[in-house]
């Protein structure tokens, strides 16, 4: 059974992850959950998944949870969310929106937890630091964000990911760089014959 923590469990991705977890109770155990302010949804999740530790951004919401679940370990604020991220588990799902997810993600990495990342902003704004910490910790990074996950699955299933160079090499190398376009369906109405000849400039021009 895999122990997991979900950072941002009340958002759409976090709720979808928990939906999957609920279908395989013999395979997953929820250890930690965090939310920014959505105490109503978090309350339901606590009752359903019985986590060991929970954090929420607001102090008032944390007090409510402490009264509602007196035997549960409740943390508050950014430090509380990072504390949940540091719990030893098999996998931490990082689905906190924007750069607010960076510090908790780094806390999870330094604790030696594998990461499932559903937040592209972390890679855009702090990618070098983030990936250096991943390599230093020797953990696995799995993409959950739609574009990254789709690319990863295609590469994995078509043999385009090179094998690791050694046991210490904890990340896979690609045959060539890949440049995903911004969301917005830039090529949504392009004929198939034109896609192959398209370039990054076309994608930028057609993005609205």
Does residue 193 or residue 66 have the better pLDDT?
66
Distance CA 203, CA 208 (A): 10
Q: What is the pLDDT of residues 117-137, one digit of tens each?
A: 988 788 777 778 888 898 898
Q: Would you place residue 200 in the very low, low, confident or very high pLDDT band (cuts 50, 70, 90)?
A: very low
Q: What is the pTM of this model?
A: 0.75
How much is the pLDDT for 195? Answer: 59
Distance CA 8, CA 60 (A): 18
Residue 61 backbone dihedrals phi, psi, to 5 degrees: -65, -35
Q: Look at residue 204 and tell me whether its pLDDT is greater than 80.
A: no
Domains and CATH numbers, the chain: 2-173 (3.40.50.720), 178-208 (no CATH)
Q: Look at residue 72 and tell me whether its pLDDT is greater than 70.
A: yes
């Amino acid at each position: 059974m895999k122990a997991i923590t979900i950072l941002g469990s009340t958002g759409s991705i976090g709720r979808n992850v928990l939906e999957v977890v609920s279908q395989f109770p013999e395979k997953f155990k929820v250890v930690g959950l965090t939310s920014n302010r959505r105490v109503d949804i978090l309350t339901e999740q606590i009752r359903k998944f019985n986590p060991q530790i929970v954090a929420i951004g607001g102090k008032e919401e944390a007090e409510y949870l402490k009264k509602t679940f007196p035997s549960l370990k409740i943390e508050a604020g950014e430090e509380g969310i990072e504390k949940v991220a540091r719990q030893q588990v098999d996998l931490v799902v990082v689905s906190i929106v924007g750069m607010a997810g960076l510090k908790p993600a780094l806390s999870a990495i330094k604790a030696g937890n594998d990461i499932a990342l559903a937040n592209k902003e972390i890679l855009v704004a702090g990618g070098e630091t983030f990936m250096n910490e991943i390599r230093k910790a020797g953990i696995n990074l799995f993409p959950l964000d739609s574009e990254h996950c789709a690319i990863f699955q295609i590469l994995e299933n078509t043999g385009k990911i090179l094998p690791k160079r050694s046991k210490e090499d904890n990340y896979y190398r690609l045959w060539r760089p890949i440049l995903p376009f911004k969301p917005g369906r830039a090529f949504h109405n392009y004929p198939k014959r034109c896609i192959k000849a398209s370039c990054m400039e076309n994608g930028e021009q057609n993005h609205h």
